Structure 1
């Protein structure tokens, strides 16, 4: 019943989008860094494995954000961002709405191509993820657009985003120069920060604002200073109407942007989604659109604990049909299974690492066994937490302290059985029926 712990949202989204006509990664146009864009090469940690056509499947550890033992698992915000905006057809409309209008008109958007690699500082991979796109101007020159996704609940407080952006731009230019050693010029890079926290963005956007330059000296030294401002897509300050109005965005991109905006809301998400049913219908009309919608709903269930699962499924069934409800139920069940397996894997990896540190075979064997036992318990606890969350979403105040105590005392096998019933049970008693 369990799925492998690395079978995350990335696999489902990558699978479905690979089968959508026109939803492949990149195009047949060669990548600007000397690689065909039909396969994405990921740079990091001195390792550049090829990831053919599947945008997110089997990403190397340099692209993941949450540590599990010696491995790292990418968080759901990153996965959704890359799965959708990592495809030119979905990114195109988003970028057109952010870039300066004159540049939008100057670009040949049919040449928009996803570029290889990540340039995020490893110290910030827990809060940032990035995509680099290249496009050709109508005069034949190249332009790079660097999209950095800030997925924290509040803006950073160190005031150094512009400084980090400068570092990323320099890293991109170095990479470009390595692939174009005879080039006499560098391409322009348009940096964009995309943010979906609850609080409005408050960081300085201008690099110049970070420089300690006395007012009296500014006229004399200004020509010699680094000056640039990054573009900002702050979803907290964009209305739903603005998200909808961009005609160049695909229906899936619009829906995902809305879900990013409300990823942490305590408001009634089902009521919000009700206003977006016309967009959801457009999503499912596309080939494999039902699977795409189910994964977007899975993202919301995973990141927003306030979403009422039963109400969400009821809305989907009424507005889109029973198939939409069934697909979402399957996604919800996978969340429970995924959490349990991640707990087991984490414990095993930690145990192996403890044994390795001892440096002897006995320690290795003890570490594996200890990790196995720890993993089972951690998996049970994680499954218990997820089951309690789903029970509360489905049955509300019926889930009292007695239910919590019953879950706390339950065996792994009992939680397994209850988890299999939680989304289909008509009553709370049905969940715990022997």
Structure 2
């Protein structure tokens, strides 16, 4: 049941909803930009420009929108890693170039659409990287402005969620839930995260449509169980009881998900236990056979044997009769 990339899924399931994306733009875009954007023309695009290698740390969403009465795009880059990236402006330049190339190739046009890049970040550390491409180019700011005009430069809009207070998190229920949980998923301990979950779940009561609330509660809890700290069984119980009080309509949803993840966690624990038990048995067998063949085995060698994986331990045991001296076993250690 665990999601392979929960940050990506939670981000796209929420921001992929045009109403939520509009809500974000309305509350967080600078007013001068909002004056030239027609949010009623906002339309999600299927394209993604993040390569496979970077998908663990980045997600993206592209929206077509009229900018100053012409077709343009808003590009969301979501960074879901625990540290800031110095190359963000450069990455954005590559993605923007790919958007333009795709547009020209698909529609055979010679003019490029406007693209406004936005970066959303929720790592453990505050964002400490400047937001202009020129800041990455050595000596750029020392050049006269007429020379700078020959060198590519742009600035992206940055939203460092880690800095937002509860009062600064604005918008309708789904947007406030996402920003609250993204803000706290890396930075709060289990108790603090539980309090954030209770607050987020309470926002669901603002939704008029019960089915929408239940569906988004499931989206939220799948994210929590997949991306959150390793919640203990007792912590999950506390979570369920509080949610039953805060949002009783979601009791069955939370209970079903909690049981599923509990069972999965037990199976994972059992598998780890079985693997650990198998390895301990192999270590014990290897040391016993070496002791029987060569006499006392030094403690440091025992420790080194205990660090071997199960496959290597099996080889060590299988070759014991071929060893001429105790030191022969070290070829598998070194």
TM-score band w.r.t. shorter chain: 0.7 to 0.9
TM-score (norm 1): 0.57
The 1:320/1:220 distance shift into structure 2, 3 A limit, reads closer
CA distance in 1, matches of 2:53, 2:253: 37
3-state SS of the aligned residue for 2:130? Answer: coil
CA distance in 2, matches of 1:218, 1:121: 37
CA distance in 2, matches of 1:203, 1:224: 24
1:83 aligns with 2:13: yes
CA distance in 2, matches of 1:199, 1:222: 32
The 1:121/1:205 distance shift into structure 2, 3 A limit, reads farther
The match for 1:193 among 115, 119, 122 is 119
CA distance in 1, matches of 2:142, 2:78: 37
> How many residues are paired up?
273
CA distance in 2, matches of 1:301, 1:283: 23
* Structure in which a larger fraction of residues adopt helix: 2
CA distance in 2, matches of 1:210, 1:172: 22
Counterpart residue number, 1:147:
76
- How far 1:285 sits from its partner (Å)? 4.3
1:169 aligns with 2:55: no
Cα contact 2:76–2:120 (8 A) shared by 1: yes
Counterpart residue number, 2:177:
255
Deviations 1:125-177 (A, max 9, x none): 2211110011124x530121110111012213xx2111111111101110111
- How far 1:8 sits from its partner (Å)? 6.1
CA distance in 1, matches of 2:61, 2:84: 20
Q: Which runs of 5+ in 1 are unaligned?
A: 1-6, 10-73, 341-379, 387-404, 411-434
Counterpart residue number, 1:330:
256
Paired residues for 1:284-295 under 5 Å: 285-295=209-219
Deviations 1:62-91 (A, max 9, x none): xxxxxxxxxxxx401101111111121111
The 1:218/1:286 distance shift into structure 2, 3 A limit, reads farther
Counterpart residue number, 1:113:
43
The 1:319/1:99 distance shift into structure 2, 3 A limit, reads closer
The 1:406/1:117 distance shift into structure 2, 3 A limit, reads closer
TM-score (norm 2): 0.73
Q: Which runs of 5+ in 2 are unaligned?
A: 279-334
Cα contact 1:114–1:134 (8 A) shared by 2: yes
Aligned Cα root-mean-square deviation (Å) = 2.8
CA distance in 2, matches of 1:193, 1:311: 35
Cα contact 1:337–1:383 (8 A) shared by 2: no
Counterpart residue number, 1:160:
87
Cα contact 2:134–2:141 (8 A) shared by 1: no
Paired residues for 1:269-418 under 5 Å: 269-276=193-200, 278-283=202-207, 285-305=209-229, 307=231, 308-321=235-248, 323-336=249-262, 380=267, 382-384=268-270
CA distance in 2, matches of 1:112, 1:314: 40
Which one has a bigger Cα radius of gyration?
2
- How far 1:98 sits from its partner (Å)? 3.4
Paired residues for 1:96-107 under 5 Å: 96-107=26-37
